[in-house]
Amino acid sequence: MSRIGKAPVEIPKGVKVAVDGATLKVEGPLGKLEHKVHPAVKVGVDPADGHLKVTRSADDRTSRAVHGLTRALAANMVEGVSKGYEKKLEIVGVGYIAAIQKNTLQLRVGFANELQLPIPSGLTVTCPDQTHIVVKGIDKHLVGQFAAEVRARRKPEPYKGKGIRYEGEQVRRKAGKAVTK
- Dihedral sign for Cα atoms in the order 153, 30, 75, 38: negative
Instruction: Using the CB atoms, write b or e for 52-75: b if 16+ within 10 Å.
Output: bbbebeeeeeebbebbbbbbbbbb
What percent of the chain has pLDDT above 70? 97
- Cα–Cα distance for residue pair 22/175, rounded to 1 Å: 55
Answer yes or no: is pLDDT of 1 > 60. Answer: no
Q: Which residues lie below 8 Å from residue 111, measured CB to CB, with a gap of 6+?
A: 154
Q: Which domains does the chain have, with CATH numbers?
A: 3-82 (3.90.930.12), 85-166 (3.90.930.12)
Contact 70, 78 (CB under 8 A): no
Q: What is the pLDDT of residues 47-80, one digit of tens each?
A: 888 899 999 988 899 999 999 999 999 999 999 9
Instruction: For 66-90, give the secondary structure using H, E and C.
Output: HHHHHHHHHHHHHHHHHCCEEEEEE
- Cα–Cα distance for residue pair 156/15, rounded to 1 Å: 39
Q: What value does the mean pLDDT take over residues 108-113?
A: 94
Contact 6, 73 (CB under 8 A): no
- Cα–Cα distance for residue pair 60/40, rounded to 1 Å: 10
Q: What is the pLDDT of residues 117-164, one digit of tens each?
A: 999 999 999 999 999 999 999 999 999 999 999 999 999 999 999 999
